[in-house]
Structures are given as C-alpha cells and as structure tokens.
Structure 1
Amino acid sequence: MDSFELFQRLGLAIAIGAAVGVERHWRERDEPEGARTAGIRTFTMIGMVGGVAGLIERSFGLASGYPGIALAGFLIAVATVMAVFEMREAIAQQSYSVTSVIAAILTFGLGALAALGDMTIASAGGAALIAILASREFLHEGIRRLKWIELRSAVILLAMTFVLLPIIPEAPVGPFGGVSPKSIVLLAITLASISFAGYVAVRLFGATRGDVLAGAIGGLVSSTGTTVAFARRSAAGEGELTLAAGAIGAGAVSLLRTAFLVGTLAAALLPSLLAPLAAGTVVLVFYALLLARHGHPSGDRQLPGNPFELMAVAKMALLLAVVAFLARAATVTFGDAGLILASALSALADVDAATVTVAGMLKTVAVPMAVKAIGVAVLSNMLAKAVYATIFGNGRFALHLWGATLLSVAAGIAGWVVAGPT
C-alpha cells in the first residue's frame, strides 16, 4: 500500500468522524462550552483515532503475533473515556442516554474499517450512522404513534421472511408443472408488505379523514373489498358522491399496484402494459377528484384492518396457489385460451393473484400472451367492481362507478393502441 492510499484511508476516517460530530454538535449547539461530552472536534478525533489504530494494526499488529491488540487497546480507551464523561453529563442533567457512547464506538470502528478494509462500506456505514442519529425525533414519534398490532405484524413479517421462507421447499409440487411453495409464500409476503407499508405510512404521516383518502388506502389492501364496503355504505344512505370517489380512488391505486407488481416481477411485460395502466389511472384519479370536489364527506373513516394479519396472508397464499394451479392446468389443457379464461375468472375476486401468477409463468408463456392475460385480468376486475357496485350500492353510486370504469377502460385501450402492444 503506497503513501497516497494511506492518506486516503486516514482522510476518510477523519471525514467520517467529522460528519458524525457535526450532527452531535448541532443537536447540543445551545449548550455552553464544556457542557457537552463530545462535539465536532471530539468526534473528528475519534474517527482519526480509529484510522490511526487501523494503520498501526496493519503495520505492527499482525507482525507482532498478537492480531487485534492495537484495535482492542484503542477501543477500550475510547469507550471508557466516553462512558465516564457521558455518565458525568447524565448525572448533571438528570438524563439517561447512551447514544453518544455507542456513536463514538461506531465512529471509531468505521475509522478503523476505513484504514483496514473496504472504504466504500466504511463510507456507507458513516452515512447510515448519521441518518440514524439525525432521525431521532422521527423514529421516536413513529414508535409513539404505532400500535401494538402493527409492531406485532412487523415481527411476524420479519419472522416469515427470514425464518420461515428459507426452510420452505422450492421444488414445484403437483401436476401440470406444479406450484412452488416457496414462490407462493414469497409472493404473499410481497403483497402483504406493500399493504403494510401503506398502512404504516398513513399511521405515521396523518389520519385518514375523508372517503377519498380512505378509499386510496383501502386500494392498497383490496380495491374489490373497498368497493363492496363503500357500496354498502351508500345503500345505507351515506354520501354517495364521496363514497364513489373513494371506491374509484381505490381502483386507481389498484392499477398503480398492478404496474408495480409487473415491473417488479416481470419487467419484460411493463413496456406493453405501462401506457394503458397509466392512462386508466389518470382517468380514475381525475374522476375521483371531481366527485370529491362536489360531494360532502360522510364522516371520519377508520383505517382498514391490519393488512398483515396471519389469516389474511394465509388466504392470499391459498388464493395464489389455486390460481397458479388453475392457470397452469388451463394452459396445458386448452392452450392460451385457458390462461386467458383463468385470469379473467380469478380477477373477479382479486387482480393481484392473476398478475403474479402470469408473471411467474413467463418461462412457459410468450410475452404477448402474458400481456394479454394480465390485461384481461385488469379488465375483468374493473368490470366486476362495477357490477358489485350495482348489486350492493345505490343507483348514483353505481352510476358513477360504471361511468369511471368505462372511461378508464376506453383510456386504457387508447393507451394500448398508442403504445403498440407486443
């Protein structure tokens, strides 16, 4: 290692310490001199100490036969000094926080990593540390506003992703090419994670006042279920205009969700589907906003049920497995016509199942046919929701659902023609 690289590494260690020190000093900027344990100068030197310890370890530690002794000695000294002075500050201010001590240890470690290891990882670690320190108010407020059921759901999500998923078999099971249990669980987790992220975002950034916003949130969970729920409320005499706006907004979110799933799971299909999905979404959003402007809110709308309940995930996984099996069986038995029929029927309940199933069949289904199958599923789901609005809702609610649906479908077809589908 030449001298230039040594200076580079030591410079990065100092820069990491200085960046952390800026955040620590800014947070206690109103304190008088001598009243803070560590600020910009101290943390800059801690980063430098880490870099120097790493260089000493590189030059002498390994050759001495006692690897790590230089790092351990410097780390113990830094941690001890920080802990003593932080304890004195806590006693004086009657506060309890070990953040600065941990930040100092991490700054030292990142400085040592910059000197000994990958400089890119050290830089990324420094940026992550600063982001965590600067996010104190945001994180504390988020924890204060989250409910136990949401935290429990997050734990379940992590357990399913990192504990359950790795031990589930990946090999397909069953006839007609079989269905992979691992892929089904992974897709169910993906869909539930999207819904859960939207749910938590609303809990963190504001209440769900108004039918339009409530409908958009419901679209993250199930636009079909949201439409039926709003239709029943309209039949009970609540404001049909804002309820229709909410149901139409749920449909717009559903189209965006479909575009996201296609782009994530089968990017090859997105160029043909993006234009029609975008055109249909724009029409639905405009129609929903127009109705909301002329309607009267029907009162506060509560958040939808937690989108990551185990029963909901189990039902989604079962639906995905059934749709995947039926789609493969229909394709093997009836060819392309069977896949189209299976997509249309499954979308009567939920368009996501058809979307992820077709996306997972790209190895055996041509891209043009996969595009058509998803397009038919979207169309089937939109028309089904209009029919449900007619069955469960009052006349004006259903009329607006049909109007928005037909205009959106027309816009989607125009987008399809303009994009020149494969």
Structure 2
Amino acid sequence: MDWNATSLALLTALGVGLMIGVVRERTQPPHLLPAGTRTHALVALLGCITWLLGPWVFIAALLALAALTLAAYLQSAHEDPGLTGEVALLLAAVLGALAAHEAALSGALGVLVAILLQAKAPLQKISREWISEREIQDALLLGAAALVVMPLLPREPIDPWGAIRPMLVWRIVVLVMAVGVFGHFAQRILGARWGLAIAGFFSGFASSTAAVSSLGQQARADAALVVPSAAAALLANLASLLLFVAVVAAVSPSLLQATLWSWVAAVLGLLAAIAALWWLGGVTAPAVQAPQEDRAFRLSHALLIAGLIAGVSLLAAWLEQLFGHTGALAAAAMVALAEVQAAAAGVAQLVAKGGMPLEVGRWGTLAVLGASCVSKGALAFAVGGVRYGVLVALGLLAMLTGGVLGLWASGAGA
C-alpha cells in the first residue's frame, strides 16, 4: 500500500466532509439538521476507508447509510420535506470514495458542492422571483435549438457551390437567440447603460450583425434605450473590427502590414463615435431595467437573419464561379453583407497566394468593410427604427471614413 497516497486520500475525504458539514450547519436550523459537521466528516471518511477495503465493502456501507438517511428523512419530512441534506450526506460518502481514487477531483467537487449548498438563498431568489416564466421558456427554447436541433443537421453543403451548410446556418439562428438572451440578462443585472454595453461588445466577437439586430429590437421596444442600444451596437462592431484585423493578420501578415494604419484610424473613428454616444446616453437615457415579462429574443427574427445570410452566401458563391478571380472582390463584398470575417479571410488568402496584387488587396479589405457597414446600417434602420438607424449608421460611417483616410495617408506616405 502506498501510504503517501492513502494519507492524501484520507485527508482529502476529511476536508471535503468538514467543508460540506460546516456549510450545512450554518445554513440549516439545528432542529432540521439530520447531520452536522462531525457526521459529514465521518461519512466522508467512511466512504474513503470502505473503498480502500474494496468496492463491495463500499457498496454495503453506502446501502446502510442510505437506509439510515431514509429513516431520518421519514422522521423529519413533516417539518422539512426537502432532500438537500440527505443528498449532501450521501454525496459526502461518494466524494470520500472518490478521494481514494482521484483526490484532486474529489476536493474540487467538494468545493463545488459546498458553494451550491451555501448559495441556497440566492439560487431560490433567482429561480422563484428574478426569472420570469417567459424567460424560462426562452432559455429552454435556446437550449433545444443548440443541443437538440443543431447536432441533427448535416455538416456537408447541400448546394452545388458548397456555400450552404445547414448546421452552420442553424448556428446563426442559435447565435441570434443567444445574443438576445445574453443582452437581456446583462441589462437586467447591470442596468440599461452598462448591461447593454457589455453584452454588445462581447457578442460582437460572435456576430456584430446579430448584435445590431437584437439591440435594434430593444431600441424599438423602448425609446429610452435608443442611445444606449446604439452605443452597444457600435461596441459590437468594435469587437468585430478587432476580430477582422486578427483574421487578416493570421492569413496574410503582409496585407496587415500594408493596411495597419487604416485599421488604427478605423478603430479611432469608431471609438470617437462610441464616446459621443456614451456621453449622450449618460445625459439623456435613464438607467432603466428591462421589464420582467419581455421576451429575450424572437425566433422568427433569428430565422429571418439566418435565411438572409444563407441567401447572400449562395449568391456570392455563384458569382465567384461565374467570374473566377476577377469576381472575387465582388463575391467577397457580397459575403461581407452577411459575414465580414469570412470575406476578409477570402481577400487575404488571395493576396497571400499571389492571386491578387497587394494594392488591390489593401482597398479590397476596405471594400469588404464598407459592404458590411452598408448591410448593418440598413439592418439598423429596418429593425430599430430611424433614430437608432441614424446613430448606428453615423458610427459605422466614422469607422469607414477613418479607415479610408488612414489607407490614403499610408499610401501617400509610401
């Protein structure tokens, strides 16, 4: 027997049992507590020792413990019908046995169990008071779309040009729904100004188009959220621009070097627009919370966005086949209407392989960005209304103008 491993297992089991027991004693009234600190520590040691003696010994001990736990529950069920204490006691025995096999995992799971036991009141408040019935329905619908429907869809293209993959298209649907849920709950937790900003920026790394659309829905639903939503939409485009530059750098470092000042100027232009909206939002927009009965997303809207993306991608693939490399920029611009990073990667790849001159590639990437700005600006008007559309379009114009001026200045300097 390895005494070092055995000692570690016993100490881990003891620590896990003590930790769970202390939390149980502090969160439960004494007259409703079937087992306290000492009992949980002893049960965890029992699990570890019996496992070391053999699996069948552990099973016998676990069955005996389950019988005792059942008897204790039947005695106290009229006062406390919950099963948390009984399950925690049995789990202490199982974690003690796990410590004999994998001490680190047992310790980590013990901490997780203790956290869940300690968080009883906050979790009850969230599930009973904070989350509405409609939000639970939206979360379940999102889970079904991501975990049930998406794995069943084919990964291979279904069109002659290889542009439409059902799983990737459905991923856009899931993404739009997820952006809506994330933004909805971020706003609930942090308020309109901070919640929308954080949700907008991080969702931009996934899809700035989805962010512009989801935030536009909120702006249309509540006039007080127009300016904060527009600022959040521009933050999503800032994240998308950073990802755009990273894609270009990964595919063609030479193209990045030739367009670096253009992207710096584009970022500065977008930051200036965001700062202006942020100041305006702080003055004119109240820090409101989303109503509890608001839907986090609309499935029909997510399906519409995914359908548009699939159609544009199909058209771009057809144009590229018809015109070859001469139509590559046109195809890339068409793709950028739906997915700007994919279009940027296509242009950068042509430059890296020598299929497109560097100078054409420099302006080609900017054309891709411009096509994306046109698409998102039109979407902002359509989804969020005139005021939201104007604010988003002006911010995107500032970004594009900065990019053009930076590219022109770097070209003139060269």
Give 2:56's aligned residue. 69
Q: 2:401 & 2:20 partners in 1: Cα distance? A: 55
| Counterpart among 157, 172, 189 of residue 142 in structure 2 | 157
Aligned positions of 1:100-249 closer than 5 A: 100-116=85-101, 118-144=102-128, 145-203=130-188, 205=189, 208=192, 222-224=211-213, 226=215, 243-244=226-227, 246-249=229-232
Q: 1:232 & 1:158 partners in 2: Cα distance? A: 25
Displacement after TM superposition at 1:217 (Å): 6.1
Structure 1 gap ranges (5+): 58-67
Give 2:412's aligned residue. none
Q: Is the 8 A contact 1:184 1:321 kept in 2?
A: yes
Q: Is the 8 A contact 2:21 2:36 kept in 1?
A: yes
The answer to whether structure 1 residue 322 and structure 2 residue 302 are counterparts is no
Aligned Cα RMSD in Å?
4.7
Give 1:46's aligned residue. 43
Q: 1:402 & 1:187 partners in 2: Cα distance? A: 23
Q: Is the 8 A contact 2:218 2:229 kept in 1?
A: no
Q: 2:113 & 2:157 partners in 1: Cα distance? A: 43
Give 2:23's aligned residue. 23
Displacement after TM superposition at 1:8 (Å): 1.8
- Range with greater deviation from structure 2 (150-159 or 100-109): 150-159
| Counterpart among 31, 34, 37 of residue 37 in structure 1 | 34
- Which has a greater percent of helix? 2
Q: 1:373 to 1:282 in 2, by over 3 A?
A: same
Give 2:235's aligned residue. 252
Q: Is the 8 A contact 1:185 1:317 kept in 2?
A: yes
Q: Is the 8 A contact 2:343 2:368 kept in 1?
A: no
TM-score, normalised by the number of residues in structure 1: 0.71
Aligned positions of 1:341-352 closer than 5 A: 341-345=330-334
Q: 1:371 & 1:147 partners in 2: Cα distance? A: 50
Give 2:53's aligned residue. 56
Give 2:302's aligned residue. 313
Q: 2:267 & 2:43 partners in 1: Cα distance? A: 52
Give 2:80's aligned residue. 95
What SS is found at the alignment partner of 1:174? Answer: coil
Alpha-carbon displacement from aligned partner over 1:138-170 (angstroms, at most 9, x marks no partner): 322222222233222222232233332332222
Q: 1:417 & 1:2 partners in 2: Cα distance? A: 72
Q: Number of paired residues?
A: 387
Aligned positions of 1:263-274 closer than 5 A: 268=250
Give 1:80's aligned residue. 67
Q: Is the 8 A contact 2:158 2:164 kept in 1?
A: yes
Structure 2 gap ranges (5+): 204-209, 410-414
What SS is found at the alignment partner of 2:315? Answer: helix
Q: 1:227 to 1:316 in 2, by over 3 A?
A: closer
Q: 1:181 & 1:382 partners in 2: Cα distance? A: 26
Residue identity in the other structure for 1:26: R
Q: Is the 8 A contact 2:187 2:195 kept in 1?
A: no
Q: 1:98 to 1:403 in 2, by over 3 A?
A: same
- Range with greater deviation from structure 2 (339-348 or 18-27): 339-348
TM-score, normalised by the number of residues in structure 2: 0.72
Q: Is the 8 A contact 2:191 2:289 kept in 1?
A: no
Give 1:61's aligned residue. none
What SS is found at the alignment partner of 2:339? Answer: helix
Residue identity in the other structure for 1:250: A
Q: 1:51 to 1:336 in 2, by over 3 A?
A: farther
Alpha-carbon displacement from aligned partner over 1:196-224 (angstroms, at most 9, x marks no partner): 22323334x2554x7x8668768865425
Alpha-carbon displacement from aligned partner over 1:67-91 (angstroms, at most 9, x marks no partner): x432221112222333433454454
Displacement after TM superposition at 1:298 (Å): 11
| Counterpart among 268, 276, 279 of residue 287 in structure 1 | 276
Alpha-carbon displacement from aligned partner over 1:99-120 (angstroms, at most 9, x marks no partner): 111112222112212213x444
Residue identity in the other structure for 1:255: L
